[in-house]
Amino acid sequence: MKPLIGLTAYSPAERPGWLVPDLYIEAITKSGGIPFILPGASTDFANDWLNVLHGVVFIGGGDINPDLYGGAQTEHLYGLSPVRDTAELHLMKQIVQTDIPVLAICRGMQVLNVALGGTLHTHLPDVYGTKVLHRTEDGQSIHHDVMTVPDSRLYRMIGEVADIVSYHHQCVDKLGKGLRAVSHAADGVVEAIELEGKENLIAVQWHPEMNFADSQSQQSLFRHFIEDAKQYQQKK
């Protein structure tokens, strides 16, 4: 049996329900996993999910409420969801204490950082300027390079320099406990982090699912995650 991969979801304001964009589903299925959507309506099922899943993807989405990490409320915030924040932070705190593989994408990387006591810059242009655009001025995705340090697991997946798809306006400020920055943009923004003692955790600020179809480096990232999930599945 292929590994069962849980994906966190978001609830759009215009209609009820919990959704996962199809690009995530496609990347998981083409990499050899079976996707399973995790609704963020409650924390009640976290332990049950972790008993059956072989890996978890924390997908992108709206901003985390700054009150949860001592940040400032700004006019740039969007997509706030107290229910989703509570559910995902709870799940992340549980999962980092297990051997279950994790792929944290964009908001997902920020959830990891906040769950471990880190903080975020609530609007990165206010701190880093616009030397590197991390999304277009009208709020669309954009490409830029990231540079990854050689002594990291991520380096073995994507190499030193990789072209990525960026779609965010917030970024890591203070790192959470046990976390290390392993990749940066040219302006210094943290683009990937790793957690000491958890080799099978991959956390990136960009969106590898968006150029999965034509990027060998992003395909490699998903393949490594699914391979981690297969190894975990065999141990259960």
pLDDT given at position 166:
98
Name the pLDDT band for 206 (thresholds 50, 70, 90).
Answer: very high
Mean pLDDT of 196-216: 98
Per annotation, catalytic residue among 106, 121, 191, 224: 106
Asked if the model's pLDDT at residue 98 lies above 90, the reply is: yes
Architecture label for domain 4-235: 3-Layer(aba) Sandwich (3.40)
Asked if the model's pLDDT at residue 14 lies above 70, the reply is: no
Mean pLDDT of 102-130: 98
pLDDT given at position 138:
86
Answer yes or no: 207 catalytic.
Answer: yes
pLDDT given at position 137:
83
* pTM listed for this prediction: 0.97
pLDDT 10s digits, 170-185: 999 999 999 999 999 9
Asked if the model's pLDDT at residue 219 lies above 80, the reply is: yes
Per annotation, catalytic residue among 168, 169, 207, 224: 207
pLDDT given at position 236:
79
Q: What is the 3-state secondary structure (H, E, C) of the chain?
A: CCCEEEEECECCCCCCCCECCHHHHHHHHHCCCEEEEECCCCCCCHHHHHHHCCEEEECCCCCCCHHHCCCCCCCCCCCCCHHHHHHHHHHHHHHCCCCCCEEEECHHHHHHHHHCCCCEECCCHHHHCCCCCCCCCCCCCEEEEEEECCCCHHHHHHCCEEEEEECCCCEECCCCCCEEEEEECCCCCEEEEEECCEEEEEEECCCCCCCHHHCHHHHHHHHHHHHHHHHHHHHC
Tell me the average pLDDT of the chain: 96
Answer yes or no: 171 catalytic.
Answer: no
Mean pLDDT of 202-227: 98
pLDDT given at position 45:
85
pLDDT 10s digits, 121-167: 999 999 999 999 999 988 899 999 999 999 999 999 999 999 999 99
Exposure letters 188-217 (e unless 16+ CB within 10 A, then b): ebbbbbbbeebebbbbbbbbbbbbbeebeb
